[in-house]
Amino acid sequence: MPKIDNGPPDYRLNLPPIVKENYGKWEYHESPRPGVLKHVGPAGALYSVRAGSPRLVSVDFIRDVCALADKYCDGYLRFTSRNNIEFLLSDEANVEPLIEECEAQGLPVGGTGASISNVVHTQGWVHCHTPATDASGITKAVMDDLFEYFKRDDLPNKLRIAMACCLNMCGAAHVSDIALVGVHRTVPRIDHEAVRKSTEIPSLVACCPTAAIRPDPKNKSVTVVEERCMYCGNCYTMSPGMHIMDAKNDGVAILIGGKVSNARTAPAFSRMVIPFLPNNPPRWPEVTEAVRGIVDLWIANARKGERLGEWIERIGWERFFDLSGIPFTDKHIDDYIFSRETFRTGAAFKY
């Protein structure tokens, strides 16, 4: 009989000897080159070589990565919170040969320090049931376009991009320097038969954050007050009868300026700058162009050390819209439940 409640594998069995010896005693780290971190402790140095990954990978890809780890670092490796691979080397002499072999196999080395690291992203059309767009495809298109910034580490600061295929925003997209978010724009189309067959109607009614869904007892279904709906899609999670996906009207919004670190300023939510761009697969050119424009504007204007949101807060969002040429509309002004804190209640501002 297999054991239940094993718990996860014990991480201590997976630590390289140099990590065990320096555990909790690390003194400092430096970055000898983009994509390589050197951590130093009393027992010596650990070299981490960071490589980008598409996250959605085959078992043979993992086996290839394992073979590299066997060859250069006794099989020790880890993954980062942004889905990069890190090879953990104790022998400095192996760093350059490993990098060469990674690059030869199409594993780009980079993403450390003041760079653009891997895009944290969701399942999208590959495997999610509520997506407004694909996630892997946009991620690939954006990273192809910004590839040079994965390989460099001389940007004003790090820049974190995340991609969420719907408003559930798996993966903390809502606190990224640049968040790409799949959005719906039309009210759910009700399949009354499906609602009747497989829905707890009180739960469906209760799940709507704007009370747009009303019970329709006569019909044993529900109705939607269209003007109250803001298309979050939460109802579709509660009932397969509430069709929210809309091929013509779904697309991507861009929110920027968020961060999770407490360094200098408190963690901050990303703020909407582009309410909608169309789904234009396979490469979403409108999205990649908008992202590129924002990134390059930040690089050209920010002071050393400023995250995207810190730069914008310093110059003012009104200046950002001016500089970027992104049109400001009524859609940028919050009209959901926590809107008041965003209204300007002072008479000091810029043009």
Partner 1 sequence: MAEKRETPQLDELEKGPWPSFVTQMKRAGEKSPMAEELVGLLERSYEDKVGHWKHGGIVGVKGYGGGVIGRYTDLPEEYPHLSEFHTVRVAQPSGWFYTSDMLREICDVWEERGSGLTNMHGSTGDIILLGTTTEQLQPIFDDISDRGFDLGGSGSDLRSPSCCVGPGRCEHACYDTLDMCFDLTNEYQDEIHRPMWPYKFKFKMSGCANDCVAAQARADCSIIGTWRDSIIIDQDEVKQYAADGLDIQARVCDMCPTRCLTYDAEAGELSVRAEDCTRCMHCINVMGKAIKQGKEKGATIMIGAKSTIVKSAFMSWVIVPFMKLEPPYTEFKEMMERIWDWWDENAKTRERIGELIYRKGMGEFLRATGIPAVPQMVYRPRANPYVFWQKDEIEN
Is 120 an interacting residue with respect to partner 1 (CB under 8 A)? yes
| Residues from 12 through 31 that contact partner 1 (CB under 8 A) | 13-15, 19, 23-24, 26-29
Tokens of 217: 């007892």
- Rank residues 284 and 324 by Cβ distance to partner 1 and give the closer one: 284
Specify whether the CB–CB gap between 105 and 64 falls below 8 A.
yes
Is 110 an interacting residue with respect to partner 1 (CB under 8 A)? no
| Residues from 325 through 344 that contact partner 1 (CB under 8 A) | 336-338
CA separation for the pair 330, 229 (Å, rounded) = 17
| Residues from 65 through 104 that contact partner 1 (CB under 8 A) | 65-67, 69-70, 75-81, 83, 85, 88
- Rank residues 39 and 257 by Cβ distance to partner 1 and give the closer one: 39
- Rank residues 158 and 324 by Cβ distance to partner 1 and give the closer one: 158
Q: Which DSSP letter does residue 231 get?
A: -
- Rank residues 258 and 317 by Cβ distance to partner 1 and give the closer one: 258
| Residues from 133 through 192 that contact partner 1 (CB under 8 A) | 134, 136-137, 139-141, 143-144, 147, 150, 167-175
Is 223 an interacting residue with respect to partner 1 (CB under 8 A)? no
Tokens of 311: 């730069």
Tokens of 166: 């719907």
User: E-strand spans in 135-248?
Assistant: 154-159, 161-164, 178-183, 189-190, 213-216, 221-224, 242-243
Is 116 an interacting residue with respect to partner 1 (CB under 8 A)? no
Tokens of 280: 């234009």
Is 126 an interacting residue with respect to partner 1 (CB under 8 A)? yes
Pair type for strands 28-33 and 36-41: antiparallel
Is 59 an interacting residue with respect to partner 1 (CB under 8 A)? yes
Size, binding site for partner 1 by CB under 8 A: 114
**CA distances (Å), origin 14, targets 18, 75, 88:** 12, 9, 11
| Residues from 307 through 326 that contact partner 1 (CB under 8 A) | none
Q: Is 116 helix (H, G, I), strand (E, B) or coil?
A: strand
Of 72, 35, 30, 67, nearest to 50 by C-alpha is: 35
Going residue by residue from 30 to 49, which x/- string records binding to partner 1, judged by CB under 8 A? ---------x-x----x-x-
| Residues from 278 through 297 that contact partner 1 (CB under 8 A) | 279, 281-283
CA separation for the pair 80, 58 (Å, rounded) = 18
Report in angstroms how near the CB of residue 287 gets to partner 1 at its nearest.
14
